[in-house]
Structure 1
Amino acid sequence: MTAQVAVDAAQAGERLDRATVLLWPGIGLRGRRRLIEAGGVLVDGRTRGAAYRVRAGEILAAVPVDRPEAHFAAPHVPLLFRGAAYAAVSKPAGLHSAAIAHGGGESLEALLPELFPESPALLLSRLDRLTSGIVSVAFGETAAARYRALEDAGAVEKTYHCVVHGVVAAPFVVDFKLDTADRAKTRVRFRTQPDTLRHTFVSPLSREGSLSLVACRIAKGARHQIRAHLAAAGHPLVGDPLYGRGEEGGLFLHCAGLACPVLDVTDAPPWTVAEAAAAAGANAKSAE
């Protein structure tokens, strides 16, 4: 990791999260954003946001990120299934899936050696930090490659439960294209994505006033797919700070099922529709 670097004319005008590749060449864009949010870089001695446009001559300096006292440990991650080649765990909301070097928050990936001390484990899926539920794991590259092939063949079905604004009375499909490149918020293109593995299939489960509990089925999925697709369809998720109203109480999105030839796992949400309704109601009162 480079301790500091000067912005030259070629980088002038770039977003800070892109320019910091000079400091952290081995970390992806999302990881750099997390480090910036955690205060891991200074621009001429000042903290700046990820969208800040750097200027020629400014000094970008990497600084140590204080790691808070751990909030998550192996006992906080229930084991749902353990086989010879695969396993599945239930990730709690608030825990990152993948580890980020040099700081950026706790992660499920960092807990894998403690969860599976007898076998090197690889993440097969990732959930947003705010999303809870099933994360699949493979023991070895051969098992991981088989799972990826099943995903590509459309043989993996993931079911999420979420609470959305509005009344969902009948099943529907959201097939909009999504642009996830180089941005924190996925952009919906409002034109049909021909690849059905990227579609979101929505079915109503129950209602609580003006809120609906729905099941969303996806195959491979893209970053923020369900959150962006449901918001674009007029049904933002309760508690979504990016695509919805950001109610307190957390994001009401949970991976509740994963079915494929090598895994068949279910995991009930840790919340109720009534709790989502209470969060939405409190948000509406505070906005008055």
Structure 2
Amino acid sequence: MTDTRILSARTDTSTESLTPGEAFTLPAGADAAGQRVDRFLAAGIGTLSRSRVKALIEAGQVLRDGTPVADPSEPVRAGATYRVEVPPAAPAKPQAQDIPLTILFEDRHLIVLDKPAGLVVHPAPGNQDGTLVNALLAHAGDDLAGIGGEKRPGIVHRLDKDTSGVMVVAKTERAHQALSATFASREALERSYLALAWGVPSPSSSEVEAPIGRHPTDRKRMAVVTRNGKDALTRYGTERAWGTACALLRCRLATGRTHQIRVHLAHIGHPIVGDPVYLKRVPGSAKALPAPARDALLSFPRQALHAESLGFPHPVTGETLRFTAPLPQDFKDLLALLDGDAG
């Protein structure tokens, strides 16, 4: 049986969680007259995005006094009663696959995990399965309430395939909206990465503020650009250095552009060890290392970049959450080799 809730347009539904298969009835008061109906309904329900309400209107799932609402931009009529029917979430197109995950935290709203290097986040051409989304579909199962009408996890941010570390994923549409807003505004958001870079930056702590956009000739790469780029700011500090050869940097993101840390560090002449895209030649600083360490760094099969910590407010309770993930073994082995050769 469909569960129907009667809401006022001003009802605070922040403590409620929307379950697909429910119906909501919202009476429109005089103060709502003239508003766009999709905006009015999204605000009144509180757990559906405006784009989701628009899709429901276009699918004939929204009624005004029993008559289907045809246009999401239609003005609200005072005194009318609106009914929003949310069908059960459709099965996700990606298939669930039993891929081991390291879960740092989970509740009914979100999952925080330590993503291993080598795991693609989302299915795409060339990587149709074996992704984090496939793994999450298997792990979360029926706990996924549906994002955009589809029973799938809500990817809020991404880590490159070969970058390891902390990620948060939404399990409900409401959590997805709130987390997406947090990442977009960057308020109360903390992201810290560890990167092993060639050379030692001077000064040892500073920031790189340079716009990032598509490379003008190689569209698969990003680059610091002078036109049509997006503002990007990365702050870094040197944690350790091995002579003049390389340094372990802690990077904090003030923005979240594609490949931001990799692009910014390469831009200032300190590309990340193992970066297959932005490290184009053997750095001169490699000569300062003993052969075993030099060979290990030059043959490292991925960018030595790790999302060490992530802090954000819980999308429902507002509680401040902060999670850390230890360096993966291959990264630790690389640092141990550097320490051994330095000793």
TM-score band, normalised by shorter chain = 0.5 to 0.7
Name the CA distance, whole Å, in 2 between partners of 1:212 and 1:278: 14
2:191 matched residue in structure 1: 158
Name the CA distance, whole Å, in 2 between partners of 1:103 and 1:129: 11
Name the CA distance, whole Å, in 1 between partners of 2:230 and 2:119: 33
Offset of residue 220 of structure 1: 4.0
Offset of residue 274 of structure 1: 5.9
Q: Secondary structure at the match of 1:126?
A: coil
1:223 matched residue in structure 2: 258
Give 1 or 2 for the bigger CA radius of gyration. Answer: 2
Offset of residue 83 of structure 1: 2.4
CA contact (8 A) 1:151 1:219 kept: no
CA contact (8 A) 1:238 1:276 kept: no
1:178 matched to 2:227? The reply is: no
Offset of residue 152 of structure 1: 2.5
1:268 matched to 2:337? The reply is: no
Offset of residue 248 of structure 1: 2.2
Match of residue 208, structure 1, among 238, 242, 251: 242
Offset of residue 102 of structure 1: 7.3
Offset of residue 93 of structure 1: 0.9
* Structure 2 residues without counterparts, runs of 5 or longer: 1-96, 145-152, 283-297, 315-320, 339-343
| Distance 1:103-1:225 versus aligned 2 partners, 3 A rule | closer
Match of residue 176, structure 2, among 138, 141, 144: 144
The residue correspondences of 1:1-288 to structure 2 (distance < 5 A) are 73-75=98-100, 77-100=101-124, 103-104=127-128, 106-120=130-144, 121-155=153-187, 156-168=189-201, 170-180=204-214, 183-189=219-225, 195=231, 198-209=232-243, 210-244=245-279, 245=281, 247-249=298-300, 250-262=302-314, 263-270=321-328, 271-272=330-331, 275=334
Offset of residue 265 of structure 1: 0.9
Number of paired residues?
A: 205
Name the CA distance, whole Å, in 1 between partners of 2:323 and 2:99: 19
* Structure 1 residues without counterparts, runs of 5 or longer: 1-71, 280-288
Per the normalisation by structure 1, the TM-score is: 0.64
Name the CA distance, whole Å, in 2 between partners of 1:241 and 1:170: 25
Q: Secondary structure at the match of 1:114?
A: helix
Name the CA distance, whole Å, in 2 between partners of 1:189 and 1:92: 31
1:22 matched residue in structure 2: none
| Distance 1:115-1:122 versus aligned 2 partners, 3 A rule | same
- CA RMSD of superposed structures (Å): 2.7
